[in-house]
Structures are given as C-alpha cells and as structure tokens.
Amino acid sequence: MNDQNTPNNPDPLAIFGPNRHELPEPGEASVALDRRQFLLLTGLGGLVIGVTSGISSSAFGQISAPIYQVGLELNHYIQINPEGEVIIFTPHPEVGQGVRTSLPMIVAEELDADWSRVTVKSSTIDPSRYGQQFAGGSTSILRRKAELSKMGAMARHMLVAAGAIELDAPADQLTTSDSFVIHQASGRKLSYGELAELAAKQPMPDEKSIVYKDPADYRLLGKRITSVDNRTIVTGEPIFGSDVSVPGMLYATFVKSRSLGGRVKSANLDEVKRLPGVVDAFVIEGNKDIPAYDPVSDFVSSGVAIVADSTWQAFRARDRLHVEWDLSTASTDDTDLMARQAEELATQPGAIVDKDKGNVDDVFAKSGNIVESFYHTTFASHSPLEPNNCTVHFKGDSVEVWAPSQTPPAILIGLMKLFGLPMNKVVVHQIRGGGGFGRRLENDYAREAALISKRVGAPVKLQWKREDELAFDYFRPPGYNAYKASLNADGKVDAWLHHTIAASKDGEKPNRDAGSRLTLFPENMLDHYRTTTSLVPSQTPTGPMRAPTANTHGFAEQSFIHELAIAAGKDHVEFYLDFLGEPVWTVPNDPNAIHTGRAANTIKKVAENAGWGREMPAGRGLGLSFYFSHATYAAEVAEVSVDDRNRVKVHKVWAVCDCGPVVNLSGAEGQAQGAIIDGIGVMAQQSITFKNGAAQQTNFHQYPLLRINQHPEIEVAFVESDFISSGMGEPTLPPIAAAVTNAIYNATGKRIRGMPISNEGFSIV
Amino acid sequence: MITLNINGEVKSLGDIDPETPLLWALRDTLGLVGTKYGCGIAQCGACTVHVDGNPARACQLPVGALQGVIITTIEGLAAKDGTLSDLQQAWVDYDVPQCGYCQAGQLMSATALLERTPKPTDDDIKTALSGNLCRCGTYNRIAGAIKSVANKKAELEVTETDRAKGA
C-alpha cells in the first residue's frame, strides 16, 4: 500500500499533492462518515437533506485557515419540491465515468424515488462542504456509496414520518414506492411532493434505526440504467467545458516551448497584434520551468498568449507567431538514450531495495528452473478527445472559473495562491469533461486561462490545440521491469525478484507513478521475494494515467506469469489457480488488499466463458491475464489470430469482474469495455518519444487511437459478490495488454516484451 | 457577407473571414457547439457534419466555399418538435455515450451511412465509422446501436427506458 497516505493523514487534499496516490485508504469512507453529522434544514421550498462537514478547519490550515471556520454548514444532496420533482446533486466531476448517473441512483434507490421524475445536478465546488470532489482512482463508488445510501434512506424515513401524520396511520404500516408514501390497508397515498414540507419538520432518524432496502427489492441498483445526460449529448446541446460561453468572452491560445521548460526570449508580438481578429498578444513570464504534476500548485509555464475575437483567429495568428526560446532551463530528455540506460541498469542489481523477504538468493542458488525476463514500455499520452480548455472571468477582487477538471477544488486552491485571493473569492464551476483518463487531474490550463483573463480584463476561453495536448502532458511514464523467478520441482514459484527501472528527475526517487506498483501481489504470496528499484534520469513530467502504475506493470507481470506457467509445463489457468491457493484475504477487511478467493473466482469464470482449453486452428490463440486494482478484480481472455506479417486481429475479449454489488450494470459494462479498448489502443500503437526534451508526436496521425475497425467483440460478466462496491473506471485496463500478447504467444510461439507492440514489429488490424 | 443554409435555416455569418473553417463559424459565431474540435486536421471525426447529405469534416471546410450547399449539424438531426431520430434514440436507449465528446461526429457518420446503406454489413459500419475516433472506446455499442436501427431489433442489452434527466 501507499505509505505516504495513511488512514491517519487528515489532509483531505492530500490526493492532489505530488507523489501521492488517489486511492482511498481502507476504511476511509466509513471513517469520514463517522466524522460527519447529519443535518436537516428547512425553508428551501421543500425537503433538503445533507451532511455537515466534519472536516476540521485545521485540515485546511496550511492553505487558508481564516476561511475554514467550518461549523454546521449544509451540503445538499437531495431536494424535493412541492411538485414532486426530486433533485439529486452529484458531488464529483463527470468525465465519462458515469457518476452523474450512478451516484444519484444510489440515493434514489434508498429514497424510493420515481426515477423518471429525478433531475440530476452537479453540486457546487466547496471542499469545506463536500470533502474531496474529484474524479480519479475509480473511487467515487467506493467512497460515496454508504454515505449516499444513508442520505436516501434518511429522507425516506422522514417522508414516512410525515405520511404517518397526514394519513393518521402508524409509520410501520406505511410503505413507499415511486415517490409516494402508501397506506396499503386503506389504499390511501400521498406523494413525496405533498409531504415534503412536513417531512422537513420531522426529527432526523437515529442512524442506527435506519432500515435499508433488501437488495432483492432494488429497482435501480444492479440494473441497466442509461446516462442522465444522453439526450443532451445526442442532440449536441452545450454540456462540455469547451461549450461554455460567457457574455463578452474572448478566445485565447497559449504557446509554450515544445522542449519542456523553455522560456520566451523574444517574439514578434507587434506583428501578431496587427493580425485580423487579434485583441492582444503578450508574454506570460511563468513561475515554473519544466512542469511538475501538482494540481493544487500555482505553477504556470513561460509562453505567449494570443487573445482574439474567435478561436480560429487566435489559432491562425498563432501560425504567424515566431518565438525565440531560451532553452537553457529546458528538459533535454532523449527517450532512445533513456531506453538504453534502462536496459543496462536492468542487467545490474537494483540500486534501492524496496522489500526483501526470506532469502531469495539462496533459493535461486539451489534452483534448477529459473526464468528471467525484461519488459519495457514507452511514454504515453492521455489525449482525451476534448483538448484542454477553460473559461475564466477575472473580476479584480474575485475570479470565476468554468473548468472540465477532474479536480475542481484543486483549481480553487491554485488560484488562491496565484492571485492571493481568499477562498470565497474564487468560484469554480464543475463542467463535464470530454474524457479525462487522468489528464484533467492537473489544472495547468485553468491557471493559464486565469492569468490571461486577468491581463486582458475580460472573460477568456482558453482552447488548447491537439498539438498542445501531446506536447504538454503529464505523461504516463515508461515502465522498465526485469523479473527473475524460480520454480521448484512441483512447478511452483518459490522465489521472485522484481527490479523496476524508474524515470527520476532528482536521482533520489521515481517520478510520479514511474516506480513500483501499489499492490504487492503476486510476490506477497511467496516466502521469498525481493523488489528493487533503480533510477534512470528523466526530466519529462509524468502523472497518473488511467490505472496508474498498473497500466505498465500489468503488461509486464502478467506476461511473466505466463512465462512461468510455460516453464512449469502447466496450463496457464491451472498454474494461476494453483498459485492463488486457498482463499485468503491478504489484509483482512482491506478492500485494497487482494483476496485470492475473489481473484480465483474471476479467473475460473472467464476461463469458462471463453471456452478455455478448446482446440484452436493454426495461428489462432487464447491468452489469459488478471489484475487486481482499484479494489476491483478483473480477469480477461483474448482470442487473437496472427498472420505471417505479424498482423494481429483481436477477435473477442472476455472479461469477468468482481467489483462487489454492481451499481449501474450499463455503466459498469461500458467502462469495462472502454478500458479494454483503451488498453488495446495503447499497447497497439501509442508511444510518445522525446528528442531535446520535446515530444516528437504532434497529432493523431502520429499518435493513433484505436479505431472501430480494430475493435474486438467484448463480453463482460460480473461475479456476484457481497463485498463493498468498488469502481469500474480503470480495473479492466491493466490486464488487457498481456491477455493479447499471451494469446499471440499461444498462437505463434512469439513472446512480445515491449509496448507498444508496433515497436516490436506487430500491428493490430 | 456570408450566409449558409444550416439545419433548414439561412444563417448570416456577418463579416466573417471566408477562410474560417465551418467548425469555428458554427461554434464561435453561431453558437452551434454540438460540432466538436478534436484535432483540426481531419483525423478524429469529432467535427463531422453533412454537406449536401455527405459526411464532411467541418475543420477543413472554409465557410467561403459553402454558400449554396445544404449543411446539417448534430443540432439538426432531431425533428423540430424534439423527437429524436431513430439513431439518436438508439444512442440513448443503448447508453452509447461515455464522455460523449465524439458522439455528435459518430452520429453524423452513422446517419449518412444508413441513408445510403439502410442494411449495412459489419464491414460497412466499420468502413463508414473508421474516421471517427472514440477515446472512451464505445465502439461495441456504436456498432450495436447502428445494427439495432438497421435491423429494427435490439442487438444490444436493453436498458431502462424510464429515465431521469440531467440538468
């Protein structure tokens, strides 16, 4: 687990800090809930229920102590108006992971609300009320489900209490359904709208007395529910960050050094200012050379801003802009050199010993069956389809922001620092993002937009170009992993050595997400293992990309496990189940620690679904992979065929997941399919290379996403388990690359040890 | 003065530079923001519109060259009374969108496909939609939704139809 973010860490913004991971710690959600106190307020035209923040002001002390005089403030989740409309507020940003549907479903289920009369709204951004409002680490369900269930159930109890008065019947003789309180005996019923005002005057039920629904009676949870935003999307109505329009708004582009960290030396600003539509052009000095992932920072890079009366005029003027860059402060990264250095380091013992258990060297010395392998991956870019953009209105003593961010509260903090404004003078609106994948955890584009708005004294929409996205990412770091393991006479793994070669800027620790992965599996199942790290110099900024660390380690380690099965002369499924052994929860009651029984269940079921073991024609094969991440278990089998030119067709992927009780079956299945497509796209053909500190890829012709003609059929199934519900935004991504390459091996005998496989002479067709 | 025929209406673009790509005229001048910017070089398909019924990339079409043609954008797919087209309805019913940013372009390409080829094969669908990138990977549902409309039967698991709305 991540030692830096222990359950005792009181800093609710810790997730946004450098080298912190956004996974919640075990029990965090319930601890947070215990610290909260439920509160009811009336007078807002109906029943409003929320929880008060129990977060102490000291938690925010380092940022702005005077502002956080947190008392009994309300944060709204449910509002019922007299007409019977139920409004449910979603605290977390939506970037396509489905929280604007799944979280309200949880509330509506326990509320027994008529889903067809529910309206979903995104809440305001206010960390003092809502705690962590972010989209990352597949955590929204894991963190919020218990709390939101309670909100719904409490409101229902109060509506029943009001119904008992109005219907003159004991509460225990009343039932609820579809936003009505019903007295079955008399056949009388009252709508939630009719009861809302009286319900609001009822005492809050004791938490311990709350009766939750029997899951057998669920009408929403576990069902296929369509996204509440589908109609808006298919009709092209404004919904995304880039669709925001504010009166008097100007349009901006911001040009930075493609060699990361360069400073503007001079630019032909006078010429640019005279171009059609250009309102202004100016240098922003910046306060940070080579960018670093830190969403709450006030970091801004040096660059030239062009402000125009339309996006097109800003872009066109940009084509005429000539900047001379001072590159003395810029990155000099060269990925060819990095790869050579990493390969060399992989042949040597790890410089840093992370974990050392038993006596690995003794076991290796006595072993007659040792397998060694080296796996490597490149940098990759998040590339959400909606390029970064942000609309900001700097008003002198306050600032208003519309941002498609995954961490809107972090923008608030960053702008407080940048402008010296108190928190109540920074308003951040959460706006749907056209994809996130971790890119929108950082808020560099919002800070740039804010500075530009301040300079021109008008609201500004900053629109990044696709070329900016690929140049100025916080990239998924490359992964270089060397493994050595031994097998005993029975073909069982008895010792394991894992050496991660990690990109490092300071020469002391891995860059963000460049180091070893968060889970200890599989080595924690062994008596003898050692994990080590060596560092390879790299200045390129890195950050979390969908399934951080797991997204590169999954490929390497699940390929290596297949190599071990082959060396043991065993069937892959059989070898895996044998390795997992008897069911054990490696850290009891910790959802982020692997439970080998749940792992085995998913592997058994995916083998069954895929028809594992069936005869395959020549050039065709099945490949197995498994990964546990984000508290969810995902086992996958890929069926591929490979032709004599190493063109790979992925025909079908079977995925079996255990994420506890599924909240929204449609959303969960969609996320599972999407993450598999994402993973195949990255492993197929996505690589960012650097020369002189600059990314060499500029647009999708050089960084191709997977297209519809390459996509496999994907069948997703869920294991019905009664553990805590966990997220589905990421967990099916880590296993897919190895499922495909293991299948390629089974089809051809060719082992692929590098991603993307286009660098190894293979292509996905 | 440039005027364009968009979604059955004549729209004036004022004294716009005739080199302005249709994409930015739609978004910044007319406020029709359903057509999306993704790459600017006709690689992603997010800006797909119909020009005289044919799918085209609005990022590559200077407005000065479009006078007299009939342009349809995502805002023009539904009936005037708000009734969704069959494909739009299928996109909703089968819960196709994830982030949703590419879906206007996907729908425009799919609509043009079915107008030309009412019973497309799997290969027809792949060919017609291969220029539309979906970063979220919704391809299984895109293909299933198109086939469901073409074959007039559910080719995907049916989702809840009685639904809440976002605001």
The size of the A-B interface in CB pairs under 8 A is 248
- A218 and A311 together in one domain: no
- A51 and A159 together in one domain: yes
β A529-537/A493-504 pair status: parallel
- A625 and A566 together in one domain: yes
- A42 and A142 together in one domain: yes
Dihedral, A27, A33, A35, A40 alpha carbons, nearest 10: 180
Q: What are the distances in angstroms from CA A471 to CA A14, A259, A331, A541, A654?
A: 27, 8, 12, 11, 35
Handedness of CA A407, A410, A414, A420 (dihedral sign): positive
- B9 and B70 together in one domain: yes
- B104 and B39 together in one domain: no
* CA atoms of A705 and A689, how far apart (whole Å): 16
β A460-463/A480-487 pair status: unpaired
Residue A719 near residue A597 (C-beta atoms within 8 A)? no
Q: Is the pLDDT of residue A39 over 70?
A: no
Q: What is the DSSP string of chain B?
A: --EEEETTEEEE-TT--TTSBHHHIIIIIS--TTS--S-SSSSS-TTEEEETTEEEEGGG-BGGG-TTSEEE-GGGSS-TTSPPPHHHHHHHHTT--SS-TTHHHHHHHHHHHHHH-SS--HHHHHHHHTT---TT--HHHHHHHHHHHHHTS--SPPPB-S--EE-
CATH number for the domain that contains residue B95 = 1.10.150.120
Segments forming the whole domain that contains residue A467: 241-329+382-471
Q: What angle do CA A541, A546, A552 make, to 5 degrees?
A: 75
Is A164 strand, coil or helix? helix
Among A738, A746, A675, which Cα is nearest to A711's?
A: A675
- A570 and A611 together in one domain: yes
Q: Which of A74-78, B60-64, B88-92 has the lowest mean pLDDT?
A: A74-78
The structure's pTM equals 0.93
Q: What is the pLDDT of residue A77?
A: 82
Q: Is the pLDDT of residue A17 over 80?
A: no
Is A567 strand, coil or helix? helix
In a domain, B157, yes or no: no
* CA atoms of A63 and A81, how far apart (whole Å): 37
Q: What is the DSSP string of B62-73?
A: BGGG-TTSEEE-
pLDDT per residue as tens digits for the range A621-655: 999 999 999 999 999 999 999 999 999 999 999 99
Model confidence at A27, in pLDDT bands (50, 70, 90)? very low
Contacts of A108 in chain B (CB under 8 A): 164
Looking at B76, B100, B127, the residue that finishes a domain is B76
Asked if omega into A661 is within 30° of 0 (cis), the reply is no
Check B97 against A95: CB less than 8 A apart: no
pLDDT per residue as tens digits for the range A672-727: 999 999 999 999 999 999 999 999 999 999 999 999 999 999 999 999 899 999 99
- Judged by CB atoms within 8 Å, which residues 688-707 of A form the interface with B? 699-701, 705-707
In a domain, A141, yes or no: yes
In a domain, A349, yes or no: no
CB atoms within 10 A of CB A659: 28
A310 closest CB neighbour out of B28, B139, B143: B28
- B111 and B60 together in one domain: no
* CA atoms of A165 and A159, how far apart (whole Å): 10
Model confidence at A34, in pLDDT bands (50, 70, 90)? very low
Q: What is the total count of domains within chain A?
A: 3
Check A226 against B159: CB less than 8 A apart: yes
Q: Is the pLDDT of residue B88 over 50?
A: yes
The alpha carbon of residue B109 is apart from the nearest alpha carbon of chain A, in Å, by 12
Q: What is the pLDDT of residue A50?
A: 58
Model confidence at B162, in pLDDT bands (50, 70, 90)? confident
| Helix (H) or strand (E) segment spanning residue A159 | helix A140-166
* CA atoms of A231 and B50, how far apart (whole Å): 20
Contacts of B104 in chain A (CB under 8 A): 233-234, 236
Q: Which of A312, A316, A320, A686 to mutate to test the interface with B (most CBs of B within 10 A)?
A: A312
Check A229 against B97: CB less than 8 A apart: yes
Which chain B residue has the Cα nearest residue A715? B140
pLDDT per residue as tens digits for the range B39-48: 999 999 999 9
Q: What is the pLDDT of residue B167?
A: 83
Among A733, A732, A751, which Cα is nearest to A741's?
A: A751
CATH number for the domain that contains residue A677 = 3.30.365.10
Write the secondary structure of A609-643 as one string of H (helix), E (strand) and C (coil): HHCCCCCCCCCEEEEEEEEEECCEEEEEEEEEEEC
Check B98 against A97: CB less than 8 A apart: yes
Q: Is the pLDDT of residue A540 over 60?
A: yes
Strand partners, A174: A183
Q: What is the pLDDT of residue A76?
A: 65
When pLDDT is averaged across residues B99-128 and rounded to a whole number, the result is 98
Within its chain, how far is the Cα of A484 from the centroid? 31
Contacts of A437 in chain B (CB under 8 A): 135
pLDDT averaged over every residue in chain A = 89
- A209 and A257 together in one domain: no
- A257 and A227 together in one domain: no
Q: Is the pLDDT of residue A64 over 70?
A: no
- A245 and A165 together in one domain: no
| Helix (H) or strand (E) segment spanning residue A107 | helix A99-111
Is A248 in CB contact (< 8 Å) with chain B?
no
- B40 and B98 together in one domain: no
Q: What is the pLDDT of residue B157?
A: 87
Check B99 against A96: CB less than 8 A apart: yes
Q: Is the pLDDT of residue A404 over 60?
A: yes
φ/ψ bin of A426: left (φ > 0), alpha (ψ from -120 to 50), beta (otherwise): beta
In a domain, B91, yes or no: yes
- A284 and A224 together in one domain: no
In a domain, B158, yes or no: no
- B18 and B43 together in one domain: yes
Which chain A residue has the Cα nearest residue B108? A234
Residue A410 near residue A16 (C-beta atoms within 8 A)? yes
The alpha carbon of residue A434 is apart from the nearest alpha carbon of chain B, in Å, by 5
- B64 and B104 together in one domain: no
Q: What are the distances in angstroms from CA A3 to CA A59, A476, B12?
A: 19, 22, 61
Segments forming the whole domain that contains residue B109: 86-151
Handedness of CA A348, A352, A356, A359 (dihedral sign): positive
Contacts of A252 in chain B (CB under 8 A): none
* CA atoms of A564 and A623, how far apart (whole Å): 14
Q: What is the pLDDT of residue A136?
A: 85
Q: What is the total count of domains within chain B?
A: 2
Reported ipTM: the value is 0.98
- A587 and A658 together in one domain: yes
**Maximum CA extent, chain A:** 83
Contacts of B98 in chain A (CB under 8 A): 96-98, 435, 670-671, 674
Check A670 against B95: CB less than 8 A apart: yes
Q: Is the pLDDT of residue A68 over 90?
A: no
- A193 and A248 together in one domain: no
Query: For A171-174, which contacts have Cβ atoms below 8 Å and span 24 or more sequence positions?
Result: none
- B70 and B125 together in one domain: no
Looking at B44, B76, B108, the residue that finishes a domain is B76
Q: Is the pLDDT of residue A164 over 60?
A: yes
Check A115 against B164: CB less than 8 A apart: yes
* CA atoms of A23 and A143, how far apart (whole Å): 10
When pLDDT is averaged across residues A398-424 and rounded to a whole number, the result is 96
Check A434 against B36: CB less than 8 A apart: yes
In a domain, B160, yes or no: no
Q: What is the pLDDT of residue A157?
A: 92
A297 or A199, greater pLDDT: A297
- B57 and B108 together in one domain: no
Q: Which of B99, B127, B134 to mutate to test the interface with A (most CBs of A within 10 A)?
A: B99
* CA atoms of B30 and B35, how far apart (whole Å): 11
- B102 and B70 together in one domain: no
The alpha carbon of residue B68 is apart from the nearest alpha carbon of chain A, in Å, by 23
Which chain B residue has the Cα nearest residue A86? B164
